[in-house]
Amino acid sequence: MSNSTRTRAKTCETPTAKQRRVWDKSAAGYDKQMALFERIQFAGGREWLAERARGRVLEVAVGTGLNLPHYPGDVTLTGVDLSPEMLALARDRAAALGRDIDLLEGDAAHLPVEDAAFDTVVCALSLCSIPDPKTAIGEMQRALVPGGRLLLLDHVGSTWPPVYAVQWLAERVTIRLAGEHFTRRQLPLVHAVGFELVETERLKAGTVERIHATKRA
Residue 125, Cβ density class (10 Å: 0-12 exposed, 13-18 middle, ≥19 buried): buried
Coil, helix or strand at residue 15 = helix
State the Cα–Cα distance between residues 110 and 5, nearest whole angstrom.
30
- Say if residue 176's pLDDT is above 90: yes
Average pLDDT, the chain: 94
- Model confidence over 105-155: pLDDT tens digits? 999 999 999 999 999 999 999 999 999 999 999 999 999 999 999 999 999
81 pLDDT band (50/70/90 cuts)?
Answer: very high
Give the CATH superfamily of 3-155+184-214. Answer: Vaccinia Virus protein VP39 (3.40.50.150)
Contact 61, 80 (CB under 8 A): yes
Residue extents of the structural domains in the chain? 3-155+184-214
Q: State how far the Cα of 38 lies from the Cα of 100, in Å rounded to an integer.
A: 24
Rg (CA), the chain: 17
For the chain, the straight-line distance linking the first and the last C-alpha, in angstroms and rounded, comes to 53
Phi/psi at 104 (5° precision) = -125, 140
Identify the burial level of 121 via C-beta atoms within 10 angstroms of its C-beta, where 0-12 means exposed, 13-18 middle and 19 or more buried.
Answer: buried
